[in-house]
Chains A and B, each alone.
Chain A
Amino acid sequence: SQTIHQWPATLVQPVGSPLSLECTVEGTSNPNLYWYRQAAGRGLQLLFYSVGIGQISSEVPQNLSASRPQDRQFILSSKKLLLSDSGFYLCAWLTGNTGELFFGEGSRLTVL
């Protein structure tokens, strides 16, 4: 069966520090992968999606970036965090046959 892992689960970082959140999927190949952000009291915002290795599409201009160095690995990064980057970050993958979206457990980022 397919599973999706995210880490770290919780992160507290100072303003201006770098960020790296990692997501890996098991049990499937060539998945569509997504990074969402959920700010307090707000809905899910799509940040990036990837249809294959090295293929990244950005939905929202910001100081975050994403990379897909391997088929089942998706990384969210920042060189210098802002206070506004605080939030709950969710990785997800889409099944090719049914189009069902599955989420990881999320990474809570607090920027101080």
Chain B
Amino acid sequence: KQEVTQIPAALSVPEGENLVLNCSFTDSAIYNLQWFRQDPGKGLTSLLLIQSSQREQTSGRLNASLDKSSGRSTLYIAASQPGDSATYLCAADFLSSGSARQLTFGSGTQLTVLP
């Protein structure tokens, strides 16, 4: 069964700290891996998409990496701010998901940045 796991479920850090969120997946045959942010009561906002052929993507203070061989992706947030507080989810688009592209989601890491 293809699964995506995110540990820890919750993380609390002081403002200004650099931090890493982890995502692991069970099958290295993926189209891409995507990171999302979800604020309470809101939909998911796409942060970064890493194609299978790429090793990392950057957007502002965010950097996502992909290591297919180990089945891992990380989201690095530099100089964290209270506004970064949200739940971060990763999702993998597995090659064998069938006739239509489907993403398999992790359960998310709830990040709290303390001022």
- Mark A residues whose CB is within 8 Å of B: 6, 32, 34, 42-44, 46, 49, 51, 57, 88, 90, 92, 94, 98-106, 108
Rounded to whole angstroms, the CA-CA distance of A104 and B45 in the bound complex is 9
Contact B43 A99, beta carbon cutoff 8 Å: no
Residues in B lying within 8 Å of A, measured CB to CB: 31-32, 34, 36, 41-46, 49, 51, 89, 91, 93, 99-103, 105-108
Since A43-B107, A51-B99, A100-B49 are in contact, a sample of 18 more A-B pairs with Cβ atoms closer than 8 Å, ordered by chain A residue number, is A34-B102, A42-B107, A43-B106, A44-B105, A51-B100, A57-B100, A88-B41, A90-B44, A98-B49, A99-B31, A100-B46, A103-B44, A103-B45, A104-B43, A105-B42, A105-B43, A106-B43, A108-B41
SS class, residues of chain B in contact with chain A: strand
* A84–B32 CA distance with the chains assembled, in angstroms: 33
Instruction: Report yes or no: B45 in contact with A101, Cβ–Cβ below 8 A.
Output: no
- Contact yes or no, B43 A98, CB < 8 A: no
Q: Which residues of A contact B46 (CB under 8 A)?
A: 100-103
Whether B107 and A100, one on each chain, are in contact in the complex, defined by CB atoms closer than 8 angstroms, is no
Known: A49-B100, A94-B101. A43 touches B45 (CB 8 A): no
